[in-house]
Amino acid sequence: MSKKVKIVADSTCDLNSDLLERYGIETIALPVNLGDKACLDGIDVHTPDLFAYYKETGKLPTTSAPTPAYYEDFYQKWTGEGFEVVHLSISGEMTVTPNIARMAAENFPDVYPVDSRNVSSGMGMLAVYAAELRDQGLSAAEIADKVREQSKKVRTAFVISTLLYMYKGGRCTGVQMLGANLLNLKPCIEVQDGKMGVTKKYRGNLESVVCQMITDKLTNGEKLNPSRIMIAHYDAGEKVLAAAQKKIRELAPFQEIDINDTGCSVSVHCGPGTLGIIYMVQG
C-alpha cells in the first residue's frame, strides 16, 4: 500500500486560504526581518506590516533563507506521521532556498524537494497541480517528476506601479526609477527560465496597464490551459481587480479565476499596486 502524500510549499507560494484548504496544501513560513527583529512570513508579520515599518523607519524589511535544521523539523514531523512529502520552493535562480531544502532532505528518503523555477502564485499554481496529482493516486516521486516538467508550462507576469521598492532594495538605479516616474512607465516583470526580468514597459494608469498586459499575454499565440488563472496582487484596488477579471473573461474561457494576495517576500520587493497573472499553457 502506497503512503499518504503531503504537498508542501514555502510561504512565498501566495495562495489564498480557500485554495490551501481545498487542496490540503501545507505551507512553511519563511524568515522576514524587520531590522534586527526576526519574524516569520504570514505568522507574526504580514504584508501591511512591511510598509508600516518602512514608513516609520525609511528602511525596507529584508528576507532571508531558512536553515536546513528549520526544514528538517517539518520533515521529521510529517514523515513521522507516515507521509511522503513533496516540498515546492521558490526558483533556485532567485534564492538558495531549494539548495537548503535538498540538504535538509538528504536524511529523509520520503521527502522530495522541488525547485518550482517560479515565484509567488507561480509556485502556488504548481502546488495546486501537485495536489491534483496526489488526489489521482500518484506517489510523491511521480508527483515531483511531473511538477518539474509542468514548471516549464507556467507563465507568470507582474506589473509594478512604482520602482521605489526595487530601488530601495538595490534592484534598479535611481535614474531608472526617476525615468519611470517622469514618463509614467510601469514595468512588466516576467519569470523566464527561473529568472525574473523586465520584458516590457507600459505607460498609463494601473487599470489600463494591467488590461494591456493581460491582453498581450493571453493573445500571444500560446495554447492556454483552461483549468484556471490566478491573479496575485497587493493593494491593487477593487476597480483594478474588477477590470482585470473582466478582461480575462473577454479573452479566455478559464474555468476558474483565483485571487491571491502577495505575501511578504514578493511585496517587499515590488511594493503596493502590484498585480500579476499566473496561468499554464499546453503543448
List the CATH number of the domain containing 33. 3.40.50.10170
List the CATH number of the domain containing 252. 3.30.1180.10
Same domain, 232 and 139: no
Final residue before a domain boundary, out of 152, 179, 198: 152
Final residue before a domain boundary, out of 122, 152, 182: 152
- Which range of residues forms the domain containing residue 275? 153-281
Same domain, 47 and 124: yes
Same domain, 78 and 38: yes
pTM: 0.93
**Full strand arrangement of the beta sheet holding 154-160:** 195-203, 185-192, 154-160, 274-281, 224-234, 257-261
Same domain, 101 and 231: no
- Residues 82, 84, 88, 89: is their CA dihedral positive or negative? positive
Distance CA 176, CA 163 (A): 8
Same domain, 121 and 198: no
Same domain, 166 and 277: yes
Query: In this predicted structure, what is the pLDDT of residue 166?
Result: 60
All cell numbers assigned to 203: 505607460
Query: In this predicted structure, what is the pLDDT of residue 185?
Result: 76
CB 191 within 8 A of CB 123: no
Query: In this predicted structure, what is the pLDDT of residue 258?
Result: 99
Query: In this predicted structure, what is the pLDDT of residue 182?
Result: 47
Query: In this predicted structure, what is the pLDDT of residue 174?
Result: 46
Distance CA 70, CA 85 (A): 15
Query: In this predicted structure, what is the pLDDT of residue 167?
Result: 47
Same domain, 148 and 210: no
Nearest one of 103, 140, 97, 100 to 119, comparing CA atoms: 97
pLDDT tens for the 283 residues of the chain, in order: 568 999 999 999 999 999 999 999 999 999 999 999 999 998 999 999 988 998 899 888 888 899 999 999 999 999 999 999 999 999 999 899 999 999 999 999 999 999 999 999 999 999 999 999 999 999 999 999 999 999 999 999 999 887 655 645 555 554 454 445 544 678 898 999 998 888 888 999 999 999 999 999 999 999 999 999 999 999 999 999 999 999 999 999 999 999 999 988 778 777 888 999 999 999 8
Final residue before a domain boundary, out of 152, 180, 210: 152
**What is the count of structural domains for the chain?**
2
Which 8-state DSSP code applies to residue 220? S
Same domain, 161 and 141: no
**Full strand arrangement of the beta sheet holding 31-34:** 37-40, 31-34, 62-63
Say which residue the cell 505575501 belongs to. 263
Same domain, 143 and 11: yes
Distance CA 273, CA 24 (A): 30
C-alpha dist (Å) from residue 1 to 6, 7, 82, 132, 137 = 16, 19, 12, 20, 11
Query: In this predicted structure, what is the pLDDT of residue 169?
Result: 55
Same domain, 273 and 183: yes
